[in-house]
Amino acid sequence: MRSPAGTRSAEPGRPNRQSDKYTRFVSAGLGRELASRLGLPQPAVLRRYEPGAALITGPVLVEGSSAGADALAARLLDWDLDVRRHAAPKTKLGAIIVVLDELADPSGLSGPVRSVGASLRDLSANGRVVTISRPASADLDPAGAAGRNAVGGILRSIAKELRHGATANGIILGDGADTTSVSALGALRFFLSGRSAFVDGQFLTVATGSGELPQDWDLPLAGRVAVVTGAARGIGEAIARVLHRDGADVVVVDVPAAGEPLAAVANDIRGTALQLDITAEDAGERILAHAKQRYGRLDIVVHNAGITRDKLLANMDAARWDSVLAVNIIAQLSMNRKFLASELFHDHPRIISVASTSGIAGNRGQTNYAASKAGVIGMVSATARLMEPFGGSINAVAPGFIETDMTGKIPFATREVARRLNSLQQGGRPEDVAETIAFLAAGSSGGINGSVLRVCGQSLVGQ
């Protein structure tokens, strides 16, 4: 999805509330009736995370007959969930978890999938469907690979069928992982919660990795120190605020021209501000020096800063091309080399980079931006192995259409089409991206490494 022109955040600007007005109008009373009669989109008001709120409302149905399904059901009782192993007709469900960890061939799909289908009408508004399966690797026999790969088609199709803000996402159990591994439980809790409100039709692969479940699920980043670039406004500001809410000490970074709003963000979250051009040769050293002086450590780096300089390739000049690549990817590569070489960043570190669906699907007039964001995805994949010696991880988050002041300036018709081109039929919010980044920054995500998680409401672009 096209990103608006900006100079600091990957998707700059504060949330634009125009879509909220439409969503509220069609969610009840006359608006709902009118939208139904006219066949207009009826996006739901999404359930978003609030500290202290229940993880999920309503019973959680665990489908599957494997030992892994039994173990998971028992573990979920520790989360004070109402866990059911069999569906009761006309019982409203908060979530359906489908455990397919022992699937051997496509014939094994019929029973559990049809059982899920019979329960979908009982799924509550803003409910959740989560599959847990294993990867369709090339060394499997053909039948096994066929069955496992079929889960992807099933899950993504279910996501497109759900309504009323419900979502469907999948967990793939990679090397050494089982249904109760730390990162499998961390990913499951994320997908069940309001943190994943705008994540739909996506899969996360988890391995054993390192890390642990937090003592307090509302403060999963307690004691950690984070740096967020491009943090003066928009998505970067939202990231800084969510990381602080989750317990982290936060260093906010942006260009000197953004000094005033950057200082305001730092003051609000009791963090510190660093005015810095991230393309400077010494940017990495300056961030490390600041973190060492103020906090004595650095644990989390969020590469959010980015710019767009849109032009059709036929009209693209060197300045537009070079500046976008310099900020969006070359600066990250340079800083990461400095961070990984520093003992300050060796205690189960986390790097999260903001990519874009443009880097996955491309976008007209954005060859430079799409190249830079595709480059981010390649960098994440190749850097993953470099994080392992320190018990660390690196991942990317790829936003779709996110409501900001800048997207609010897009012509009305174009903006409305962009909002509706996903299964949730609405744009996301900056906090949706921030919640996903905070999840990947947590200790429970140590077994997720080298992944790209889209925050796009299951966009029809680049699926």
Looking at 24-119, which runs of residues are DSSP E strands?
Answer: 60-63, 83-84, 93-99
From the candidates 22, 49, 295, 369, give the one annotated as an active-site residue: 369
Strand order of the β-sheet with 167-173 is 83-84, 60-63, 93-99, 123-133, 167-173, 203-206
Q: Round to whole Å and give the CA distance between 115 and 85.
A: 12
- Which amino acid is it at 361? A
- Single out the residue of 325, 247, 328, 250 nearest to residue 8, CA to CA: 328
Q: Taking the mean position of all CA atoms in its chain, how far away is CA 229?
A: 17
SS3 assignment, position 348: coil
Q: Do 279 and 206 meet the contact criterion of CB atoms below 8 Å apart?
A: no
- Single out the residue of 328, 449, 330, 329 nearest to residue 382, CA to CA: 449
Q: Which residue intervals of 300-441 are DSSP H helices?
A: 318-325, 331-340, 358-361, 367-387, 412-420, 430-441
Give the phi and the psi of residue 302 in degrees, each rounded to 5. -115, 110
Give the phi and the psi of residue 438 in degrees, each rounded to 5. -60, -40
Q: Taking the mean position of all CA atoms in its chain, how far away is CA 450?
A: 13
Q: Do 221 and 245 meet the contact criterion of CB atoms below 8 Å apart?
A: no
Q: Round to whole Å and give the CA distance between 21 and 40.
A: 15
295 is annotated as an active-site residue: no
Looking at 183-224, which runs of residues are DSSP E strands?
Answer: 203-206
Measuring CA to CA, how many Å separate 268 from each of 169, 220, 241, 245, 252? 34, 20, 8, 11, 11
Give ∠ CA 299-304-309 in degrees, rounded to 5. Answer: 155
Structure tokens at 430: 């900056």
Q: Round to whole Å and give the CA distance between 392 and 440.
A: 11
Question: Which 8-state DSSP code applies to residue 396?
Answer: E
Give the phi and the psi of residue 122 in degrees, each rounded to 5. -95, 0
Which single residue is written with the structure tokens 């954005």? 366
Question: Which 8-state DSSP code applies to residue 327?
Answer: I
Burial class (CB in 10 A: 0-12, 13-18, 19+), 175: exposed
Catalytic residue IDs: 369
